[in-house]
Amino acid sequence: MINVICPKCQKVVSVEDYQTGQPVPCPNCGNVNIAPAPSPESTTPPDAPACPPEIPPAVPPAEQKDWKMWGMFCHLSAFAGFLGIPFGNIIGPLIVWLVKRNEIPFVDQEGKESLNFQISMTIYALVAGVLVFVLVGFFLLLAIMIVSIVCVIQAAMKANTGEGNYTYPLTIRFIK
């Protein structure tokens, strides 16, 4: 077990030996860091008593491979709205976020960002829907749909690479 300091929030993260060289998200801020190999002087002699870790590992071993996938699903589930499900663009990310937010900090961060964007886009689409009677609403609805598709794809790609921290444009922060 080695301790790594997150460069973003300065929180100490305990990392299992088998996680060295792999991306490990910070449980506090979700920033993804590569766990370094332990230094020779940090290893304890075999006769030393084992101390329990103060901080649990950032990602449990069973979910180590899945955290990027679930972060990507937070964004891509918004396409449920295009499948004809009423408010599916909000319900999809909400379900993924509620199911995995306590298990994976990265999903908590990505889910909040996706939900805020989808709620904002829904509000903008409702206003544009009213403006259809003035004929400008058709162009606004088309622009909102294109911006939504492009931004969701960009955010999903960034989450799939493990970068995360994608900030959607034109977003009202409802969930902090």
Task: Encode pLDDT of 66-85 as tens digits.
Answer: 888 899 999 999 999 888 88
Tell me the whole-structure pTM to 2 decimals: 0.63
Residue 103 in tokens: 């298990």
- The Cα 116–Cα 78 span in angstroms is 11
Question: Is pLDDT at 55 greater than 90 in this prediction?
Answer: no
Q: Are residues 45 and 73 in the same domain?
A: no
Say which range, 33-37, 45-49, 65-69, has the weakest mean pLDDT: 45-49
Q: Please give the pLDDT value at position 13.
A: 74
Q: What is the pLDDT of residues 76-120, one digit of tens each?
A: 999 998 888 899 999 999 999 999 889 888 899 999 999 999 999
Residue 152 lies in a domain: yes
3-state secondary structure of 176: coil
Range of the domain at 92: 67-160
Residue 171 lies in a domain: no
Q: Please give the pLDDT value at position 90.
A: 93
Residue 174 lies in a domain: no
Query: What value does the mean pLDDT of the chain take?
Result: 81
3-state secondary structure of 14: strand
